[in-house]
Amino acid sequence: MKNILAIETATNICSISLFLDGSFVETKDSDEPRSHAVKLPVFTDELLKAHKCKVSELDAIAISSGPGSYTGLRIGMSLAKGLALSYNLPLLSVKTLLAMDMEIDIEFPHWVCIHSHKNMVFAQKFNNHEPVNDATCIPVENLDAAPVFGTELQKCNIDFNEILPSSQTIGRFALNNAAALAEKDYQKVSPFYLTEFNISK
């Protein structure tokens, strides 16, 4: 697989990247909250037209599967499935924290986290870019002394190094692992919510 469209909507960031002939071409993104439903289809159309690429010319659609925002994940997954279904393309579902870890240079143990709610974070520990545990949702005080990397963690009042989810890293991870990730049974691909959805009073 060489031509893919990669989508990232697990947080407030709405991001889409195009890869042609196995190389990164361009990203369109926005960090405007709750704008995914409006911006994502527009970004997709603009990006494909700018590079004279049709959906039918793609080999696959890569999608960030979470954990993260319920609404963002649903919107991103819906678009990814719609594009894939239109031309019978495989989906490449990439767990968000695994892709974020690609942005970290250190090899010793560290955490990759996304703020969930209150003092809770979606978290996964890595060592030399290999997961130490499964992604989980835990109170921030349950993190050990290893360095923390992630996004929106200022809400938890902890020291951390900011890294942002990106469709570019989703695309890179998908290209590197395309054979293992490719799935044409779309019912098997769904957002990785990790926690139950709760409606605040």
| Kind and range of the H or E run holding 117 | strand 110-117
Assess contact for 55 and 36: CB atoms under 8 A.
Answer: no
Please state, rounded to an integer, the average pLDDT across all residues of the chain: 95
| Domains in the chain with CATH codes | 4-95+166-188 (3.30.420.40), 104-162 (3.30.420)
Prediction pTM value: 0.94
pLDDT of residue 195: 75
pLDDT (0 to 100) of residue 196: 57
The β-bridge relationship of strands 136-139 and 60-66 is unpaired
For residue 197, is pLDDT > 70?
no
- With cut-offs at 50, 70 and 90, classify the pLDDT of residue 110: very high
**Rounded distance between C-alpha atoms, residue 10 and residue 69, angstroms:** 5
| 36 backbone dihedrals φ, ψ, rounded to 5° | -60, -45
Instruction: Compute the distance between CA of residue 23 and CA of residue 36 in angstroms, rounded to an integer.
Output: 25
Sheet with 60-66: list strands edge to edge.
Answer: 23-30, 14-20, 4-8, 60-66, 91-95, 182-183
Residues above pLDDT 70, as percent of the chain: 97
Cα–Cα dist 170/176, whole Å? 10
Query: What torsion, rounded to 10 degrees, do the Cα atoms 72, 77, 79, 84 define?
Result: 160
The average pLDDT across 189-197 equals 81
The pLDDT tens digits for 70-105 are 999 999 999 999 999 999 999 999 999 999 999 999
As to burial, measured by CB atoms within 10 angstroms (0-12 exposed, 13-18 middle, 19+ buried), residue 86 is exposed
* pLDDT of amino acid 200: 43
Q: What pLDDT was estimated at residue 85? A: 97
